[in-house]
Structure 1
Amino acid sequence: IPQTQFSMLGNPSEKIGRLVFAREMDDSFYGLGDKGGSPDRTGRRVRMYNKDALGYDAENSDPLYKSIPFLLKVNRSKGTSIGLYFPDPCIRCFDICSESRFYFSAEIVDGPFSYALIMGDDYRQVLSGYCRLSGKPAFPPLYSFGYFGSSMNYAEAWDAQQRIERFFKDVEERDLPCEGLYVSSGYLKADDGKRYSFFWNRRKFPDPKAFLEDLRERGYHLTFNIKPGILKTHPWYSELVDKGYLLKDNDGNPIVEYFWGGDASFIDFNNPDAVKWWKGKLNEAYLDFGVEGVWNDNNECELADGELDAYKVRTLYPVRMAQVSYEACLEKNPNVRPWIYSRSGYAGMQRYARTWTGDNVSDFKTLKYNQYQGASMGLSGVPFVGHDLGGFFGPEPSAELLVRCCQSAIFQARFVIHSWREDDRPTEPWKFKDAYPLIKEALFDHYRHIPYIYNTARQALNGIPMERLLCLEYPSDARLCADIEQSMFGDSVMKAPVVNQGQGSKSVVFPEGDNWYCPMDGKIYKGGTTETFETPLGKTWYFYKAGSVVPRSLVVDKLRTGYFSKLQLFIVPSCGNVCYDYYEDDGFSVEGEHSHNIWHIEVSYDSSGKAGKVSISCRHLGDASSLVGRQFHVTFPDGFSEEVVIPAEKADGVEIPFGGEYR
């Protein structure tokens, strides 16, 4: 437990307090949101407010979009982990041993000058404890883990509807699995070039309801970009001022800040009447048309005047907006999981929204550091994170960059190619003819692993990250540093993506204590070793931990249901026994105490003696009809045993003997 000292800084009227904690030898620090650079924050001084950071430097820019005042302190040599959560919306900065290697500190404005100390046997227990305080993550619908198209260039154009329809036609002609589209704010762009929230441009979309119904009938899901800033030229601005629905300054007048397109004010999401109005407009403009997703963007609530009362709580703004969006979706469809995205955030955002790393740049440096940012968000209690593949901002990505981005997302919670190109040429999977087969293969590989990804997402509901740093998973292996270009995804998969330009080979460090199976070459690699692998553009590497069961889908298709027709249970044996809990559901229903849509499938492998045995048990909370017509494929690495196919409805209680010894 760190020793603490407290002092007041500067002018007493400013009420700035400083909490100082002693650092122990070998302490390392993680969390604080989507900060760039290494995930180990040691030696950094970081600012804690949210900023619209278009084109940020993923290694050095600070602040960025999310400021989460949770700090994870790990001492690998002592085997200890603690968390410090500072429940204050106005923290000026954290100094993580930048001023002195002997202590770290937090500077807090206006109080409360307090913190919660969270204990645990390891970092996972600490994170679970933090999420019990700040809120457990909301479970997104299954389809949100699949591939989505997106580009600002679609909705900005005057033929926006035709461009979107063309995108889906291209997807269908190429037989690509695709869940839908993220629609950028151009659909709100009026003839004067300004974006007016809730006002569809009817020249671009003459009949939004019919347009959306057609896409929904074809199985697509759309989410629409919405912004909380109401321009002073907005047709409803005067009405909102009169009703008091906008954030006010200390004199009771609407706060006016520069926003995209001109001066604007922000909806006050702490005003119940304003919340009711906002929810009504969400219904009228989207939810009544069958739209399932709300994409909260430009919601950093950047305020210039530090004397404003609202300034002190501005980091809470995106969380409150996400909560209102979440509630509106649940009120519209009480039995369907809301699909909410928020670019900005603070502690507790995970209760309502997923997120991504914002307006990233199309270069290899960003690809590399985005991986660390994703892991850092998981270590801040926000597990469902992804990136704009190919880069949102900057020059056209090269074929190499786009391929490597898509390969890095095989094991990620979000697979979205999103862009804004000044030449009006959106980034799409088929952008480069020669690279398209490689991108398609990465996309298909992502879909094959959706059962594993989705099961890992369910595990994350307890606060355990989906993307995990190897140095925290294997703290006794000194070769594993925080910024090694490898990571765990869930319990069973180690990924080693290529994140550097022109990289023709890659050294992979295999953590001590486990052996590793490579699905690409069929070989077993011993823990504690380092191997070099060739990495031509079409090649990426990942490994299954020995003693794992990796559920995979043998059918690559749109994610209509979580009951996969041909579910492969890929077993990688180890010297001991293997036991794996796999959960499946319909993919969209709200789950609660009395849910009736969940299957719990337990797979165990007993390796005692010279013959192994696989046992399967299936437990359902309700109707068992979801097993009918499906197959379970029990599979081992080549050379161990033949695959066994079992009708799913007959799988409960099955025992399958296997001969031979595992080497």
Structure 2
Amino acid sequence: MAAPVGEMVWVPVLEEGVFRFDASEEARSAAGPSLSFVEPRRREEPREGGDRPAVVPACEVAGNVQKVVIKLPSGTSFYGTGEASGPLERTGKRVFTWNTDAWGFGPGTTSLYQSHPWVLAVLPDGKAFGVLADTTRRCEIDLRQECTIKFSAPSAYPIITFGPYNSPAEVMMSLSHAIGTVAMPPKWSLGYHQCRWSYDSSEKVLKVVRTFREKGIPCDVIWMDIDYMDGFRCFTFDSNRFPDPKSMADDLHSIGCKSIWMLDPGIKKEKGYFVYESGSETDVWIKKADDSPFIGEVWPGDCVFPDFTCERTRTWWASLVKDFVSNGVDGIWNDMNEPAVFKTTTKTMPESNIHRGDADIGGVQNHSYYHNVYGMLMARSTYEGMAMSNTDKRPFVLTRAGFIGSQRYAATWTGDNLSNWEHMHMSLPMVLQLGLSGQPLSGPDIGGFAGNATPKLFGRWMGVGALFPFSRGHSETGSIDHEPWSFGEECEEVCRLALLRRYRLLPHIYTLFYLSHKKGAPVAAPLFFADSQDPELRKIETSFLLGPLLICASTSPEKGAHECAHKLPKGVWSRFDFGDSHPDLPVMYLQGGAILPVGLPIKHVGEASLEDDLSLIVSLDENGKAEGVLFEDAGDGYGFTQENYLLTYYVAQVHSSVVSVKVLKTEGSWNRPKRNLNISILLGGGAMVCLLTCFLFLT
């Protein structure tokens, strides 16, 4: 019997403009704890304030299903929905939040590896509004009806609304106050990553990295897929192919390269295997309804699965990670953690399985309750284990499965894509959607995971992929080699130029991550963030913003970016490059009124020095003014939380045809490094004037 459709009961929470809605007072009491909120109590505690919601959802409860409808003005554009394939503008789409091993997904796939029951709405006047259905359950997000958001999920769950605020950026910042911001990444993790399933021996790994160095192609990280293990047993090493991982890691470190190693949740069920034995002794496995451990097949054969909903399991896993890191491991890759299970029609474990969750996250529940947060809880455990192993280093974890809020623990990538032009195009809106759903540290498998890239496709994809927040090339077993030099000299040169461009921009990218960590803003943002009132910007997918830096790419094999007509937001946008213009590289513009900090063309992050020359590229606005910011710290560790950093605000202004550039103010306790400062003033039409050395003074 369906309850009548009616307005939901509401209470103000968190901060001005944020409201919690429930189907009824009884539904509010019945709702499970929040796993998305960084501080779940803030969803439960009403705040003081006299503001009232501008939009009140309607709700209908039919059986155990709660349906929520939010109607917005005509001309509203929808975004968000997390890791979703298909177009950037989500009107007309439907997504089901159910973490799924989605190898070879397409633009119409409705469930991928992560769940973000979140919609960002940009209203006709440019203001923005956010809606979170705070449920871990399978949730339908239906945007097929114009200007209407519909959520449908079992059990009582709250709706949290944000805004309307004056801009999409303000909504994202408010969301971050609820779900947290991205963990500050170590600077090396913002370099280029090279991966393959699999580099099958220590010798092969070192050969690949040395080839990067010999060819002058930047790279900071190499990855170990499942074949480094002894028979796919997690926390082990194949004694023939990786006999001394610590020695290999030392060799990599000596040439400025880090290593990241995979850990899956499927633990081989085998007597004598220390992980299985200790897990059984600690009673950490997910159970079936009859209280026996669930057994499912993954890479090692019959496997059991840690129940990360329990604190004792997370502590057990973290201690294994802590010991594992002592082998020279710099980062960890959590894969297959939807969780994926082979030889099942659902690709995962039965929903009737039992998790013995901690009371503060929902208590004992079946798998359907915890499925969507399994990957996030695994990533959290991995992150905590890495943090325990070395308190002077920031953990780096990459997770395939996740939930809204996963950015607190891990980066992500867009899963098992294909080596074709459609997937290259799709990678842009996917990265942008993740950023619009609270996860700024993401990127695709550059070149495509499955299948064989062509030289043109690989070079073009590297051109844009080198400017994504997370930049990694990855390919599957059985495909041709997908290293930058594997496609001939021309493609190799494109990749070299693309990655040198990334490394020159690292001071700016690292600053954007600091600002994202502090304030919750996306690192890569859609073009409409420059002017949310311009409806013509709302569907553009091949251009994106890195702060004031505009990247215009081409995903057409017939045309390079320089041959395409690019819609620019209003105002001054000055085109520039580093003398590296190439048909397969994106075109770059700097917004008028911005100052862009740029470093040297280094080959890995460790090669840089604080005394290196710093360049400031200045693009004046209509009034002859510009401003910019640069964040600098040790690149790792937590000194930045204790004032051990330097945040510099620069300003530029033209007076009587003379441009002065000054330090407006600084934050942090670091002394300014002694170095040359090169200033370039963009003149328009791609021209610039360069001043070799300048000395700045505080205003």
Contact kept in structure 1, 2:629 and 2:649, CA below 8 Å: yes
Q: CA deviation at 1:607?
A: 2.3
TM-score by length of 1: 0.88
Please say which of residues 83-92 and 101-110 is displaced more in the overlay: 101-110
Pair 1:436 & 2:475 matched: no
Alignment-derived partner of residue 248 in structure 2: 211
Alignment-derived partner of residue 319 in structure 2: 280
Unaligned runs of 5+ in 2: 1-53, 341-347, 354-365
Alignment-derived partner of residue 347 in structure 1: 404
Q: CA deviation at 1:414?
A: 2.0
Unaligned runs of 5+ in 1: 523-534, 655-663
Alignment-derived partner of residue 507 in structure 1: 564
Distance 2:569 2:471 in 1: 31
Paired residue secondary structure (2:188): helix
Distance 2:499 2:611 in 1: 18
Paired residue secondary structure (1:79): coil
Alignment-derived partner of residue 4 in structure 1: 57
Distance 2:443 2:253 in 1: 24
Distance 1:547 1:231 in 2: 57
Q: 2:154 corresponds to which letter in structure 1?
A: V
Contact kept in structure 2, 1:554 and 1:566, CA below 8 Å: yes
Alignment-derived partner of residue 356 in structure 1: 413
Q: CA deviation at 1:418?
A: 1.1
Contact kept in structure 2, 1:618 and 1:652, CA below 8 Å: no
| Alpha-carbon spacing, 1:506–1:43, altered in 2? closer, same or farther (3 Å) | same
Alignment-derived partner of residue 662 in structure 2: 615
Q: CA deviation at 1:542?
A: 1.6
What are the Cα deviations for residues 20-76 of structure 1, in whole angstroms up to 9, with x where unaligned?
A: 22232112211111110112211112111111111222x22221111111211111x
Pair 1:466 & 2:523 matched: yes
Distance 2:81 2:690 in 1: 48
Describe how 1:278-427 pairs up with structure 2 within 5 A. Answer: 278-285=317-324, 287-302=325-340, 303-308=348-353, 309-394=366-451, 396-423=452-479, 425-427=480-482
What are the Cα deviations for residues 268-311 of structure 1, in whole angstroms up to 9, with x where unaligned?
A: 123233222212221222x1123221111111125443344122
Structure 1 residue aligned with 2:213, among 172, 184, 204?
172
| Alpha-carbon spacing, 1:508–1:454, altered in 2? closer, same or farther (3 Å) | farther
| Alpha-carbon spacing, 1:117–1:602, altered in 2? closer, same or farther (3 Å) | closer
Contact kept in structure 1, 2:428 and 2:541, CA below 8 Å: no
Structure 2 residue aligned with 1:578, among 626, 629, 638?
626
Distance 1:489 1:117 in 2: 24
Distance 2:689 2:456 in 1: 38
Describe how 1:564-643 pairs up with structure 2 within 5 A. Answer: 565-576=612-623, 577-591=625-639, 593-596=641-644, 598-617=645-664, 619=666, 621-624=668-671, 627-628=673-674, 630-637=675-682, 641-643=689-691
Alignment-derived partner of residue 117 in structure 2: 69
Distance 1:202 1:261 in 2: 17
Alignment-derived partner of residue 556 in structure 1: 602
Contact kept in structure 2, 1:54 and 1:359, CA below 8 Å: yes
* Identical residues among aligned pairs (%): 22
Alignment-derived partner of residue 269 in structure 1: 308
Q: CA deviation at 1:538?
A: 4.3
Distance 1:254 1:203 in 2: 32
Distance 2:483 2:534 in 1: 40
Q: 1:40 corresponds to which letter in structure 2?
A: E
Please say which of residues 213-222 and 357-366 is displaced more in the overlay: 213-222
Q: 2:466 corresponds to which letter in structure 1?
A: I
Q: CA deviation at 1:539?
A: 4.6
Please say which of residues 560-569 and 547-556 is displaced more in the overlay: 560-569
Paired residue secondary structure (2:370): helix
Contact kept in structure 2, 1:136 and 1:351, CA below 8 Å: yes
Q: 1:127 corresponds to which letter in structure 2?
A: M
Paired residue secondary structure (1:355): strand
Alignment-derived partner of residue 531 in structure 1: none
Contact kept in structure 2, 1:617 and 1:651, CA below 8 Å: no
Distance 1:7 1:640 in 2: 61
Describe how 1:471-482 pairs up with structure 2 within 5 A. Answer: 471-482=528-539
Distance 1:500 1:151 in 2: 26
Q: CA deviation at 1:349?
A: 0.3
Distance 2:530 2:141 in 1: 25
Pair 1:30 & 2:79 matched: yes
Equivalent pairs counted in the alignment come to: 616
TM-score by length of 2: 0.84
Alignment-derived partner of residue 450 in structure 1: 506
| Alpha-carbon spacing, 1:632–1:200, altered in 2? closer, same or farther (3 Å) | same
Structure 2 residue aligned with 1:54, among 78, 94, 103?
103
Distance 1:167 1:257 in 2: 35
Alignment-derived partner of residue 5 in structure 2: none
Distance 2:412 2:178 in 1: 20
Distance 1:51 1:336 in 2: 32
Distance 2:262 2:427 in 1: 22
Contact kept in structure 1, 2:198 and 2:226, CA below 8 Å: no
Q: 1:595 corresponds to which letter in structure 2?
A: E
Distance 1:66 1:298 in 2: 12
Alignment-derived partner of residue 182 in structure 1: 223
What are the Cα deviations for residues 114-149 of structure 1, in whole angstroms up to 9, with x where unaligned?
A: 434444221111111111101111110111111121
